[in-house]
């Protein structure tokens, strides 16, 4: 369900990708991120790049704005499931995020 089953926060794809970028940049490191400033900076830059690109492409990072569903309203959830409109929203966002993350990884930005 959207944005942690509430739809009132940042798109979960961005939240999860941000965590994954941080984990990738810190892979194999011991200690706190501040002890590995170049890797920490790379993670911060990668997450910022992803968010900027997403915002430029879709105009928002807010789940409810992006998918048009109020996940606190059972009727709206039922409508979304019936219409399967995630195929033209969330699936598109997923492809975008995965493509951008793969590109950054290939270019060793993350």
Query: pLDDT tens digits for 73-102?
Result: 999 999 999 999 999 999 999 999 999 999
Cα–Cα distance, 11 to 99 (Å, whole number):
16
Supply the DSSP symbol for 8: S
3-state SS class at 62:
strand
- pLDDT (0 to 100) of residue 90: 94
The whole-number pLDDT of residue 39 equals: 96
With beta carbons less than 8 A apart as the criterion, state whether 90 and 64 touch: no
As a whole-number percent, the residues of the chain with pLDDT over 90 amount to: 84
Please, what is the average pLDDT of the chain?
Answer: 93
pLDDT at 4: 65
pLDDT at residue 41 in the model: 97
Asked if residues 97 and 43 have their Cβ atoms less than 8 Å apart, the reply is: no
Q: What proportion of the chain, given as a percentage, has pLDDT over 70?
A: 94
């Amino acid at each position: 369900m959207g944005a942690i089953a509430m739809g009132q926060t940042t798109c979960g794809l961005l939240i999860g990708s941000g965590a994954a970028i941080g984990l990738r940049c810190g892979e194999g490191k011991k200690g706190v991120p501040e002890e590995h400033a170049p890797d920490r900076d790379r993670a911060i830059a990668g997450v910022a790049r992803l968010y900027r690109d997403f915002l430029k492409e879709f105009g928002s990072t807010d789940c409810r704005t992006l998918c048009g569903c109020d996940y606190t309203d059972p009727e709206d959830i039922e409508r979304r499931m019936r219409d399967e409109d995630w195929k033209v929203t969330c699936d598109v966002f997923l492809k975008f995020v995965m493509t951008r993350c793969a590109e950054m990884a290939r270019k060793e930005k993350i």
